[in-house]
Chains A and B, each alone.
Chain A
Amino acid sequence: MRPLTPRRIMAICGLLFAVLFVVVVIALRTGAYPISLRDIVTTLFREALGRRDDIPLEFWQVVFGLRLPRIALGIMVGAALATSGAGFQALLRNPLAEPYVLGVSSGAALGAMLSLMVAPHIVGVIQLGAFVGAAATTAAVYFLGRRGGQLDSATLLLAGIISASFLSAAIMFLGTTMSGRDQRGMAFWLMGDLATPPSFHPGWLFVVLLVTIGSIYTTSSDLNLILTGEQEARHLGVNVNRVKLVVYLAASLLTGLAVSVGGAIGYVGLLVPHAMRMMFGTDYRLLIPTSAIGGAIIIVVADTLARTVVAPTELPVGAMTALAGAPVFIYLMRRRVR
């Protein structure tokens, strides 16, 4: 195997960024409103040059008002979910670990709903609630999944599934106390909906996500060692507990943020890290950045499909990812059993 040099990481990430760019261009071009690539390019250039008065209002509305915010949100949610999936897989040493499967997404959703009911007018309260919900669920699943002091793969997944169904029931129960209008919004959000940008400035989300993904990245060399065995890693001087705490908090925060703005979009955290492992190997120094970019690509593609396949009606993006993700989950599970 070729040694992993910074140059190689840069080259692979550059390649993935190029793919992401192409996907974003296609997503910008696709939609119910007919607009040519040329018009999109001129619109983007005019905006960049500050000549916004030359842009026809509708081009501006479609490109900057609808498609670009949605794509930006998709990139952020996809990167967050895929990275947290890779993080959970290392933390729990289970290739099937993923925020949605483990019930962490449902925990985040419940936390977001509760915080919204308690203090609806504080900016960022949903994100905080979602983070707390995600962190609490991760801890619960972690302790439920242990058997005789050891993490047991099957027990862990069962604990995740049971937590998810319990939390969904709690969400449904809370839903009955809401007005019809909030219920409709909630149902859409739970299935995964990127059409609604967050109430605060998305730039903040971007910065927080970048810092959080960066913090997982700083542990990637240690994660490589931990995956060969915790004892061995300890002997090699890795502070295993600190690394686990960082990954646990960061992965919970990423899930919480992703769920709070995009709803419970499943299987991205499973699909993307595994695809990246197949293509580029299992080294976490490469896996974390490639998963982040890969997750962005997958969500932008899935969302573009979700808003076009049954146009003018839109599908929830979560339906698209589950359609692709569930078979992959079964494939990975069967491969492990054999």
Chain B
Amino acid sequence: MRGTWRRRISAAAGLVALLLCGAELRGQNAVANSAGKIVTDETGRRVAVPADVKRIVTLAPDLTETIYALGLEERLVGNTEVCDTPPAAKTKPHVGTPISPNLEAIVALHPDFVLATTSINREETVDTLRRLGIAVYTSDPHTVRNMLDSIARIAVLTGAGERGAEMVAQLRGRLEALHARLTDLPLVHVLFVVWEDPLITVGQNTFVADALRWAGAESIIVSKQNWPRVGLEEVMRLQPEYIVLTSAHMKAEGNESTELQKRPGWRELRAVELGHVAVISEGVDRPAPGLIDAIEELARVLHPNAFNENGEQEKLKLENGARMPGATVGVKELCPCAL
């Protein structure tokens, strides 16, 4: 009796193992079946991108913004709950959050090209989608230049190469102009606030840190971690010249500078006392075309003198006029003392 039971169990085990084998093999075939151009993405994975991308799903707000900036919104069939730039992106079907998207919801949208990023997506999500035979391109922006290259590459893959090249060239031009303007000025030491409580700032290896450098600033915190948590005491010791916040932190309509002046711990900081608080658009958190706007806006707050010379203002207005559609507005509110 016991013998037959054991035999039955081992038979069942064999059956399940076989089923699992089958599942594994099918996944690999599905990947091989979808032909197209084979490219290597920014994380070193090989991706079979269809020759004619028709249905795009983006898994991060910056990628959504890029797709809109490339004029591909018609082909965007889904994005995440947090994709809010441009506002039209909110009306697209959502597949959950970037960190934990619903994979079935993605499959249900029949995408032929999924865009992910290392900055907020999980590797596991990408791997699982790839096993299903879905083409996933992962961007890995660590610097502003990286990001521009990434945009150009995504543009080529989605068939918007010309528009992408034009846009990237223009954004590069603006960066170069900014660089020329700020090149002789000393870097302003800033505290970039990703999150206020607990206080989280940026590490050296993030595109935000690079964006700060382009804007003529430098983060006071040196960390290998991407989003390090720091104590106010450390900030007190390092005494930043400016506090940089993003508009996402603006809970009320009030002035963030006076708001900080009321807070214990913060109000003792020299920068807060002087009102050296810059609130810039969320664009700076996102490696998308809007980042360049945010950099320019921040540069203007931190180095007002560089922009006050004769003729310079006019030049800047012209540049701003040439902005591509869909870009975020820059500074939403500035401290009066900075202007």
Q: Which of A181-189, A237-245, A265-273 contacts B (4 or more CB under 8 A)?
A: A181-189
**B76 close to A (CB within 8 Å):** no
Q: For residue B1, which residues in chain A have a CB less than 8 angstroms away from its CB?
A: 6-7
Q: Chain B residues with Cβ under 8 A from A31's Cβ?
A: 104
Name the residue in A58, A203, A307 with the highest tally of chain B Cβ atoms < 10 Å from its Cβ. A203
B124 and A185 contacting across the interface, CB-CB below 8 Å:
yes
Q: Are B23 and A312 within 8 A (Cβ)?
A: no
Decide if B20 touches A195 in the complex (CB within 8 Å): no
Q: Is A210 an interface residue (CB 8 A)?
A: yes
How far is A177 from B16 in the complex, measured between Cα atoms in Å? 39
Distance between Cα atoms of A65 and B108 in the complex (Å): 13
CA distance A258 to B22 in the complex (A): 23
* A58-B107, A210-B13 given; A195·B23 CB < 8 A: no
**A57-B133, A179-B226 known; A66+B20 contact, CB < 8 A:** no
Counting CB contacts under 8 A, is A52 at the interface? yes
What's the Cα separation between A64 and B127 when bound, in Å? Answer: 15
- Check B17 against A207 for contact (C-beta < 8 Å): yes
Q: Is A62 an interface residue (CB 8 A)?
A: yes
Q: How many residues of B contact A (CB 8 A)?
A: 46
Given A6-B5, A202-B20, A313-B97, A207:B124 Cβ within 8 A: no
Q: Please report whether the interface of chain B is mostly helix, strand, loop or mixed according to DSSP.
A: helix
Residues of chain B contacted by A185 (CB below 8 angstroms): 122-124
Are B17 and A206 interface neighbours, CB within 8 A?
yes
* In-complex Cβ contact of A62 among B13, B101, B107 (8 A): B107
Q: How far is the CA of A57 from the CA of B1 in the complex (A)?
A: 44
Interfacial residues of chain B within 125-143, with CB under 8 A of chain A in the complex: 127-128, 131-134
Instruction: Tell me if A33 counts as interface (CB < 8 A to partner B).
Output: yes
Q: Is B110 an interface residue (CB 8 A)?
A: yes
Please, what's the 1-or-0 string for A169-213, where 1 marks a CB less than 8 Å from any CB in chain B? 000000011011100110010000101110001110011001000
Give the size of the chain A interface in residues (CB under 8 angstroms): 44
**Are B102 and A61 within 8 A (Cβ)?**
no
Instruction: List the B side residues contacting A201 at CB < 8 Å.
Output: 20-21, 24
Is A195 touching B133 in the complex (CB atoms < 8 A)? Answer: no
By a CB distance below 8 angstroms, the chain A residues around B133 are 57, 61, 65
Asked if B36 lies at the interface with its beta carbon under 8 angstroms from chain A, I say: no
* Cα–Cα, bound, A313→B17 (Å): 31
- A72, B20: Cβ atoms closer than 8 Å: yes
**Shortest distance in angstroms between B13's beta carbon and chain A's nearest beta carbon?**
5
Q: Which residues of B contact A6 (CB under 8 A)?
A: 1-2, 5
Q: Is the CB of A52 within 8 A of B110?
A: no
Bound CA–CA A143/B47 (angstroms): 52
CB distance from A194 to the nearest CB of B (A): 11
B34 to A: closest C-beta gap in Å = 9
The answer on a CB contact under 8 Å between A313 and B100 is yes
- Contact pick for B132, options A61, A68, A181, A195, CB 8 Å: A61
Whether B103 sits at the interface, judged by CB under 8 Å, is yes
Q: A67 to B102, alpha carbons, bound, how many Å?
A: 12
Q: Within the assembled complex, what's the spacing in Å between the Cα atoms of A7 and B119?
A: 57
Question: What is the CA–CA distance of A49 and B225 in the complex, to the nearest angstrom?
Answer: 51
Chain B positions within 8 Å of A33 at CB level: 104-105, 107-108
Q: Is the CB of B124 within 8 A of A195?
A: yes
Q: Which residues of B contact A52 (CB under 8 A)?
A: 26
Nearest B residue (CB) for A9: B5
User: Are B124 and A65 neighbours in the complex by a CB distance under 8 Å?
Assistant: no
Please determine whether A60 and B26 come into contact, CB atoms closer than 8 angstroms: yes
Question: Contact string, B91-117, partner A, CB cutoff 8 A, digits 1/0?
Answer: 000111101111111011010000000
Provide the bound-state CA to CA distance between A68 and B131, in Å: 14
Whether B105 contacts A32 by the Cβ 8 Å rule is: yes
B271 nearest CB across to chain A (Å):
26
Closest A residue to B102 by beta carbon equals A312
Contact A72 B104 (CB under 8 A): no
- Note all chain B residues with C-beta closer than 8 A to A196: 124, 127-128
**Interface flag for A69 (CB, 8 Å):** yes
Is A312 in contact with B20, judged by CB distance below 8 angstroms?
no
Contact call B27/A72, Cβ cutoff below 8 A: no
Contacts of A184 in B (CB 8 A): 99, 120, 122
Given A195, A202, A313, which contacts B103 in the complex, CB threshold below 8 Å?
A195
Taking the closest CB of chain B, its distance from the CB of A169, in whole angstroms, is: 15
Give the residue name and chain of the B residue nearest to A55 (CB).
B26
Known: A181-B122, A195-B128. Is A203-B26 also a contact (CB below 8 A)?
no
- Contact: A61 with B5, CB < 8 Å? no
Asked, given contacts A64-B26, A72-B20, A181-B118, whether A32 binds B127 with beta carbons under 8 Å apart, the answer is: no
A–B Cβ pairs within 8 angstroms, 23 of them: A6-B2, A32-B104, A32-B108, A33-B104, A57-B133, A61-B30, A61-B134, A62-B104, A64-B22, A65-B27, A65-B30, A66-B128, A68-B19, A69-B20, A69-B23, A177-B225, A181-B123, A184-B120, A184-B122, A196-B124, A201-B21, A312-B105, A313-B81
List 12 additional A-B contacts (Cβ < 8 Å) besides A72-B20, A201-B20, A312-B94.
Answer: A62-B104, A65-B132, A66-B103, A179-B226, A184-B122, A188-B99, A188-B100, A195-B128, A203-B21, A210-B13, A312-B95, A313-B97
9 A-B pairs with the lowest CB-CB distances in the bound complex, closest first: A180-B226, A312-B102, A203-B17, A33-B104, A32-B104, A312-B96, A196-B124, A65-B132, A32-B105
